[in-house]
Each structure stands twice: as C-alpha cells, then as structure tokens.
Structure 1
C-alpha cells in the first residue's frame, strides 16, 4: 500500500498545531492578551512594531529589520503582504516574546497577540 501526503492538509494541520501550541503556552490560556482590528488606513498598533493596513482582504505590514518582526522564520524588512482566508486558521508572526495571529472572520481582519514563553 502506498501512502500519499496531501500538502494542503499537512499545511493546515501545521498551522493549526502552531496556533494551538501558542495558545497553550500563553499565560492567558486560549485568550489573546490584545486584539487589534485592521482598517484600510495604515496605522501603528499599540505595543506592536511596524505599520499595518488591509486592502481587498490582504494585510500589508511595513517594518524594518530592527522591529524584530518575523514571518515564516524570516525577518520582515520592507513590506510583507499576507493573505488570510476568511474563517481559516490564522497566519502566525513572531515579535520578541509574542505570537501575532492574523485572522479574517466575516470580512473583518484582526491581529491577535499572545504572550509566549519561548
């Protein structure tokens, strides 16, 4: 018998596991320590580096390397564009001892901030 992996399932599982692990490590349990709703106007979010905004459901983040904001293990230097899917697991970014989950629900986009211990 041959077992074939499914990339989309593997990716979804990995993203879910990452989000779940972040929440388990959070001293707040499953609740974020902060939540910021994004708008079409570029803005700085309290306690977070960079400038954030949404255009046509896509999240734009302008940051410098000194901001220490990472996505998929790479430091953001310039403009990073994220494409969260409505109702799907969030996209995870890291900043110092925080995990940032970019989520889209019912057409609105938010950044949930979780404290981590790693």
Structure 2
C-alpha cells in the first residue's frame, strides 16, 4: 500500500523534474539566451555594427535603422525585453538599459548551442522547502542594484520582506513584485561564486496567504540569463539578500 508520505514525495520529485525540464528546454531554444553571439552598444551616429545588415544609431527617444526595408524607428522600453528585428536566420534584439541602447544578436547556428547540455543542479530535497512570513511595506520601495555589465543599474519595486529559518538560523530576504501577486527574490549565499553563479540566483514565491505565510522552495533557485552568456545585462542581488548559509539546492553555475 502506498502511504501519503510516499505519494507526497513522488509528487514533489515529479513536479521538480518537470520544472527542471522546462528550464532546460527554455535555455536551449534556437533563438534563446544560449544563442546570443554579441552585445553591441549604439551611439547617436549612424554606423555599421559588425556583420549586421543596415546602419544603426540611437538617441534618448528611439533607435533608427537605415538599410533594412528603408529607414525604421524602434522604441525599446527601459529594462523591458527587447524588440526583435529579423536578419535572415538571426534575430537582432534591440534593448535599452540605463538610458543606453544595445543590440543583442541571436544566432541559431551559434557554436555554444552545440555545447549546451542542460543545467547542472543539486539533487532536489524537501529539506530545502521552508516556511516563511511575508511582511509588506506600507508602500513599495525602489531598490537599486548594479548589473553584471559595469555602469548599468536595475531599479526594482520592493514590496516587503520574507522572514524564515534556514539551516537552523534566522534569515530575511527583500521581495520584489506586487503585494497581491507572486513575489520575486534575488539572492546570493555561501555557494555563490563556488558552485553557483556569483551575481545572483532567482526564486519565485507564490502569493502570501492572508496571514502572510509563504513557502520558499530553494530547490527551484534559478540561474539568471547572465550565467549562460556574457551578453546579458542581468541585475546582481541586493547586498541585504546575501544568505550566510550554503544553499546547496537548485541550479548550479552552468559554465
């Protein structure tokens, strides 16, 4: 006879394996993060960019392109996913970060795609699923962090803090997001720079219960795109979110 505990363990493992498979599939997409071959910052003068078609320039309002179906105007949003321009099999992603504009080139023939063999992880364990309490701020606060690219900044809407106990020690993390939606945490710990990516890992926390109760499943501590490519502009974790313990759970550094 199968016990409730055995059923729970099976569901835990199956759910984690599906999450992990989805993550590996996402990063292995032909025009995804692993396919990026360059990051090129634009100036206010029209210029050619490596072997890309057209000539490009940018100002505070927009990006202008000559030679791709005539002159084109694009308006990438600060900090948002980029706008895509087709270039044969490739895609040129136009992004705005900290007021500057760059082109990221996605190439399905990128050699690193052939070298991509998934995402290394720690073995999932229920010991890394912990209960916490979310305490909202009276109103959201803007938390500014640096980025993996020198000179860039990220501005996050912090909505409160999560208090919990990990490996027998009290801990607290600043949570981003919306008070009534999923919470998002960027953190580092004693594994960062050793077995996990040094800048940050990400953890999604489902919306708090009415009493503030939340569950943190560190088995789903996820890499940011910058752990896969040098051409991402990811944020680093705020200094308040460095955990003293080694969180030997979730995704390891893939490089």
Aligned to 1:112: 104
Give the counterpart of 2:60 among 53, 56, 59.
56
Q: Is the 8 A contact 1:43 1:52 kept in 2?
A: yes
TM-score under structure 1 length normalisation: 0.63
In structure 2, the gaps of 5 or more residues are 1-25, 110-255
Q: Is the 8 A contact 1:22 1:99 kept in 2?
A: no
Give the counterpart of 1:81 among 69, 73, 78.
73
CA distance in structure 2 between the aligned counterparts of 1:29 and 1:87, rounded to whole angstroms: 16
Aligned to 1:25: 30
Runs of 4+ in 1 over 6 A off after TM superposition: none
Q: Is the 8 A contact 1:101 1:112 kept in 2?
A: yes
Query: Greater relative contact order: 1 or 2 (C-alpha under 8 angstroms, separation 6 or more)?
Result: 1
Give the counterpart of 2:42 among 38, 42, 47.
38
Q: SS state of the match for residue 64, structure 2?
A: strand
CA distance in structure 2 between the aligned counterparts of 1:116 and 1:31, rounded to whole angstroms: 6
Q: CA deviation at 1:57?
A: 3.2
Judged with a 3 Å threshold, the aligned counterparts in structure 2 of structure 1 residues 111 and 29 are, in CA distance, closer, same or farther, namely: closer
TM-score under structure 2 length normalisation: 0.30
In structure 1, the gaps of 5 or more residues are 1-20, 64-75
Q: Is the 8 A contact 1:57 1:107 kept in 2?
A: no
Q: SS state of the match for residue 30, structure 1?
A: helix
Tell me how many residue pairs correspond in the alignment. 84
Q: Is the 8 A contact 2:35 2:107 kept in 1?
A: no
**Cα-to-partner distance string for 1:65-112 (whole Å, 9 max, x where unaligned):** xxxxxxxxxxx4211000000001100111112111000011110000
